[in-house]
Amino acid sequence: MLRLDGMTGVVALRPLAEASALPDSRVFYDALAREWGDVAPVELEPGVPAWLVLGQRLVYEVMRGDHVFVTDPRRWNGHARGGPPPGSGLAAILAPHRRRAANHTDGVLHERLRAPLDDAFARLAASEGSTAARVRTVCGLLVDRFVHRAEARRPEGTGEADLMAEYASALGYLVVGDLVGLDPEDGHRLHDLTRRLVAGDAGAVEEADRTLARAVAARRARPRRDLAGELVAHPGLRDDVEVVHSLLAVACAGYLTLPAWVGQTLLLALTDARLAARLHGGRLDLELAVPASDLRWTGGPWIRQPDRLPVTFRPVVSAAHGRLRT
């Protein structure tokens, strides 16, 4: 049996950042799986070891076992050793304070903070038709921008477009911002802040909170049918701090995943000849032609899930059997 705290200095832990430097990060994860099995020791930053759960079954076990593996960063035993070093990119996710949002809490508190989100999305789903119409309008405007640019260059060439930057990412911040209750300018600002937040910029969290706090104050003064308006009116959230933290959780999930979903869908639509024929022939719309279940396995938006921390003891893994225990 191997303990993580006894491996530093004994086993050369591979930095997790290596995966981001590769053209295809699966090469990194496949190599770890061949060497270690379903659970591999890695280094998040110099001197900060962690277990990386690779096996699908064990990922489900960890993500769903909130009675054993929790999200509360105060549980991290590294705080007893001084916490993340100054300037660490881990400070934003391992800081010893608790965000009052469903994705940062566990147990009864998680259930209380999750319920308003479920209720809000259920109410907003009733107007799904108008939301879909707005999304189609935004899609058309984004496509028109690079089509018109290409037309202006004729007869020299047909032009080109960066579909991730000019379409998928732009669609993400416009649609998610509108859902949350932000105008396009604040939506773009929050999109940039979430990217900085994930990169470890602790100041981005405070700036994002201020941006959303303005939206919450505006919604209290002028109620509107959007996520901010629904959460402001929900009795399950006790103050504006919980509303702001919940909105940021949704914004981060949307901003960081929607461009990946859109980009992967575009990739399939543009490179799969059989799929293209079905779409162009009008036999199926995109939602039926590219089921979400297919995208989850061919290129889902999350390469790595957020951290989980054991409630009592450090994780222990058997290299022979790939069993994760506490």
* pLDDT (tens digit per residue) in 158-187: 678 889 889 998 888 888 899 899 988 998
| Cβ atoms within 10 Å, residue 98 | 15
pLDDT in tens, 57-78: 888 788 777 777 888 777 777 7
272: left (phi over 0), alpha (psi -120 to 50) or beta: beta
Closest by CA to 254, choosing from 176, 162, 315, is 176
134: nearest Cα among 182, 167, 179? 179
32 against 73, higher pLDDT: 32
Task: Please compute, for residue 192, the number of CA atoms within 13 A of its CA located in the half-sphere on the CB side.
Answer: 8
Distance CA 326, CA 306 (A): 19
Residue type, 144: D
- pLDDT, tens digit (0-9, with 9 covering 90-100), for 189-198: 998 998 888 7
Q: What is the mean pLDDT of the chain?
A: 80
Higher pLDDT: 86 or 169? It is 169
Number of H helices, E strands in the chain: 15, 8
Evaluate whether 66 touches 56 at the Cβ level (below 8 Å). no
Domains in the chain and their CATH numbers?
2-71+307-325 (no CATH), 114-124+160-299 (1.10.630.10)
Question: What pLDDT is recorded for position 213?
Answer: 96
Distance CA 9, CA 125 (A): 53
Residues 6+ apart with CB under 8 A from 266: 163, 167, 168
Contact between 168 and 262 under an 8 Å Cβ cutoff? The reply is: yes
Name the pTM for this structure: 0.77
Lowest-pLDDT range, 66-75, 189-198, 216-225, 301-310?
A: 301-310
Specify which of 11-25, 28-42, 150-164, 190-204 reaches the highest per-range mean pLDDT: 28-42
Q: What pLDDT, on a 0 to 100 scale, did the predictor assign at position 306?
A: 65
Average pLDDT value for residue range 18-28? 86
Q: How many CB atoms lie within 10 A of CB 163?
A: 17
pLDDT of the residue at 212: 96
Whole-number percent of the chain with pLDDT over 70: 79
Confidence of residue 155 (pLDDT cuts 50, 70, 90): low
In this prediction, residues 265-290 reach a mean pLDDT of 67
Query: Is the per-residue pLDDT at 315 higher than 70?
Result: no
Q: What is the dihedral of CA 87, 197, 143, 136, to 10 degrees?
A: 180
Return the pLDDT at 326.
Answer: 42
pLDDT given at position 218:
95
DSSP 8-state assignment for residue 81: G
- How far are the Cα atoms of 6, 46, 77, 288, 299 from residue 167, in angstroms, in the given order? 47, 37, 42, 21, 18
